[in-house]
Amino acid sequence: MFQSFSKCAVRSMPSIGFAKLNEQREEAGLQTFANPRNATAGTLKLLDPKEVAKRPLEFLAHGLGDHQGAEMESEKDFHQLLDSFGIRRNAPLWDTDSLEGILKAIRELDEKRHHLGHGTDGAVLKVVDFGQRETLGFTSRAPRWAAAFKYPPEQKETLLKAITIQVGRTGVLTPVAELAPVLVSGTTVSRATLHNQEEIERKDVRIGDTVLIEKAGEIIPSIVKVITSKRPDSTQPYHLPSVLNHQCPSCHGPIESEVGFVAWRCTSFACPAQAVTRIKHFSQRKALDLDGLGESVAVKLVETGLASSPLDLFTLTESDLADLMLDPAKSDNGVAISKERRFGEKRAVTLLASIQKAKNDMPLARWLFAMGISHIGESSAKELARLHEHLSDLPSSPIISDLAGLPDFEELSKSKRKKENHPRLAEFQIDDSLGPVAGQNLLSFFRSEAGQTVLTKLSDLGIDPASENFAPRPQTEASDEFPFVGKTFVITGTLSQARPHFKKLIEEKGGKVSGSISAKTDFLLAGESAGSKRTKAESLNVTILDEEGFNQMIGK
């Protein structure tokens, strides 16, 4: 018996799923998998079952191990049993009793294997009869009754005519080789991913080169190497940021490569290529909390052209939203469990009310976080809001300019924290959540073409969010109004309300909230099940408050 043999054996990853998984990894700036076998084996070694569930695995039965129950005399009996249970099995199969038949089957499979739906790079020849298998037995590593045949990957030479840059939904810039079309493994290939700048440099890929290509895992076209002997004298090394003039090709916003990542990424809030991702972030609970705007709605707003950036949400009408047709809901395995559905008037009114609230009432810190500027998280957004009264104050802020001019903290010893010694910054007592890198990214954004477009659009919409914690020169001494000046709190355990509620109260009274207990902690606000933090606080003689004691301190 002769059968096709998937690299993944009983652990299978469909070609479409494998390609999609690599796209997602490339979007996130992660290393892509070389083939389905590596992807599947790596998936099954993951310790987090939730992560495993996200991978597109399928089960294909191709062999029988130790078993009890039904008597089976041959591989054919095993296949009949699988079919009766509805278990998918490896296919196609050939039955033959001659060398000529084996060679013919190998040639036929070589033609069919590119259209099976899963990566197949070889075949297995098996003895059908189980009794004969038992007689033949095993070596220390493999059965004597089976032999594997592996096809060499088909490789072709072609010309690399150009390199284009794709902007992914998360802003990752992916260089793509534009090739002279060539037939490889059954399909015409005219493009191949170059992954990132590091890969381009490693293979020394240049426009005008003759390159050798194959399909990685028999699926994804890739450049194996450059044929340097055929390289024209006029070719030049390719450097992605220089070619792009450090601007995103989609929106002309600034691009950056974060420390520890090989990918270059567009950081612009208004990048149309990132519309869905940006709108989702803009709408989340910690940002502007737009009720009813989930991923499916964001996708449809972008697909229908109603929104190409988050600020387009403020021009939507009730009829725009009510008539929006959403895709059918799907189960975890991708099967549709409902019909296409209309967003509807009631949900439209709810979402529009949230959008209006964001426009009129959401504080500056929430807006800054919602804009998704690189290195501006919740803490740094709140610190920026403490230092600036309105969003319109930030582009020309001397504080941001001074921050951007400082050396990165990572290059300084802790004894040389320059903010404390800076002639203008010292008086603001800026928190460590806001440093030189954040300052530089803010300046780059506000000075870029994309940033200027955002500022103009905000002005046209009449949006200029105000700070709710504006206090650029913090209190240095405690008072009746600010009793917690100079005091550090840690919050733990179960309290009557969520921790952000108590954090806000403490900060409004001049205090700071830390995530860990240390000798510098002044108070531990402890609810039920306080655990190890309470134990550590007791060992360090930190004052422990219950909720009643805390309320007395703030006069409630």
Reported as a single tens digit per residue, the pLDDT across 497-533 is 888 888 888 888 888 888 888 888 999 999 888 888 8
CB 250 within 8 A of CB 167: yes
Q: Residue 349: give its domain's CATH number.
A: 1.10.150.20
Q: 341: part of which helix (H) or strand (E)?
A: strand 341-342
Can you give the pTM of this predicted structure? Answer: 0.60
Q: What CA–CA distance (Å, rounded) separates 119 from 5?
A: 9
Residue 471 lies inside a defined structural domain of this protein: no
Distance CA 85, CA 180 (A): 48
Amino acid letter, residue 48: D
On whether residue 260 sits in a domain, the answer given is no
Is residue 251 domain-resident? no
The owner of tokens 């190497």 is 225
Extract the tokens encoding 90.
């490896």
390, 340: one domain: no
Both 102 and 182 in one domain: the answer is no
Q: Is the peptide bond before 49 cis (omega within 30 degrees of 0)?
A: no
CA separation for the pair 266, 29 (Å, rounded): 12
Residues 352 and 377 in one domain: no
Burial class of residue 72 (count of CB atoms within 10 Å of its CB; 0-12, 13-18, 19+): middle
- Which residue ranges in the chain fall short of pLDDT 70? 1-12, 26-31, 34, 119, 186, 216-219, 259-260, 329-338, 407-424, 474-480, 556
Q: What are phi and psi of 216, to 5 degrees?
A: -65, 125
d(CA 309, CA 268): 10
Cβ contact 409:432 at 8 Å: yes
Domain check: are 8 and 119 in the same one?
yes
What's the rounded Cα separation, in Å, for the pair 125 and 147? 5
Distance separating alpha carbons of residues 93 and 494, to the nearest angstrom: 61
Tell me, what's the pLDDT at 186?
66
Give the CATH number, domain containing residue 140: 3.30.470.30
SS3 of residue 17 by DSSP? helix
- The C-alpha angle with vertex 17 and arms to 16 and 18, in degrees rounded to 5, equals 90
What is the domain-level CATH number for residue 181? 2.40.50.140
Please identify, among 314, 335, 360, the residue that sits at the C-terminal boundary of a domain: 360
The answer to whether position 481 is within a domain reads no
Alpha carbons 363 and 464: distance in angstroms, whole number:
10
Same domain, 378 and 338: no
Tell me the β-bridge partners of 12. Answer: 58
What is the token pair recorded at 255?
Answer: 């691009």
Task: Please check whether residue 36 is in contact with residue 19, taking contact to mean a CB–CB distance below 8 angstroms.
Answer: no
Tell me phi and psi for residue 146, to 5 degrees: -140, 145
pLDDT at 7: 33
Number of H helices, E strands in the chain: 21, 19
In 3-state terms, the chain is what percent helix, strand and coil (to 5)? 40, 20, 40
Q: In terms of domains, do 191 and 107 share one?
A: no
Query: 29 and 123 share a domain?
Result: yes
In 3D space, the residue among 218, 230, 196 whose CA is nearest the CA of residue 113 turns out to be 218
| Position 228 in a domain | yes
Report the pLDDT value the prediction gives residue 413, as an integer from 0 to 100. Answer: 35
- The secondary structure element, H or E, covering residue 429 is none
Q: Which domain holds residue 42?
A: 2-150
Cα 247 from Cα 537, distance rounded (Å): 50
Task: Using the 3D structure, point to which of 243, 264, 283 is the last residue of a domain.
Answer: 243
Instruction: Phi first, then psi: give them for residue 266, nearest 5 degrees.
Output: -80, 135
- CB count in 10 Å sphere of residue 469: 15
| Residues 123, 198: Cα–Cα separation, whole Å | 35
Q: Which residues, other chains included, contact 332 with Cβ-Cβ below 8 Å and sequence gap of 6+? A: 53
Report the phi/psi class of residue 137: left, alpha or beta, with left for phi > 0 and alpha for psi in -120 to 50.
left
Same domain, 44 and 125: yes
**b/e 266-289 (16+ beta carbons within 10 angstroms → b):** bbbbbbbbbbbbbbbbbbeeebbe
Smallest CA-to-CA distance from 270 within 246, 290, 254 is with: 254
Domains in the chain, number = 5
Within a domain: residue 142?
A: yes
The reply to whether 42 falls in a domain is yes
The answer to whether residues 213 and 289 belong to one domain is no
Contact 15, 187 (CB under 8 A): no
Distance CA 163, CA 347 (A): 44
**HSE, side-chain direction, 13 A CA sphere, residue 174:** 26
Q: Which of 132, 150, 168 is the last residue of a domain?
A: 150
Residue 81 resides in a domain? yes
Q: Which DSSP string corresponds to 56-99?
A: --EE-B----S--SS---BHHHHHHHHHHHT--B---EE--SSH
Same domain for 233 and 104, yes or no, is no
267, 241 contact by CB (below 8 A):
no
Sequence letter at residue 452: Q
Q: What is the pLDDT of residue 408?
A: 53
Contacts of 306 (CB under 8 A, 6+ apart): 312, 316, 320, 324
Which tens digits make up the pLDDT trace of 138-157?
887 888 988 888 877 778 99
Residues 107, 165, single domain; the answer is: no
Pairing state between β 488-492 and 512-514: parallel
Burial of residue 82 (CB within 10 Å: 0-12, 13-18, 19+) is: middle
Q: 210 is written with which tokens? A: 């003759």
| HSE of 223, CA atoms in CB hemisphere, 13 A | 32
Which of 393, 376, 405, 370 minimizes the C-alpha distance to 472? 393
Instruction: Please list, in sequence order, all residues whose beta carbon lies within 8 angstroms of the beta carbon of residue 532, skipping any fewer than 6 positions away.
Output: none
Predicted pLDDT of residue 218: 58
pLDDT, residue 141, reads 81
104 and 165 assigned to the same domain: no
CATH number, domain at 528? 3.40.50.10190
Rounded Cα distance between 554 and 556, Å, is 6
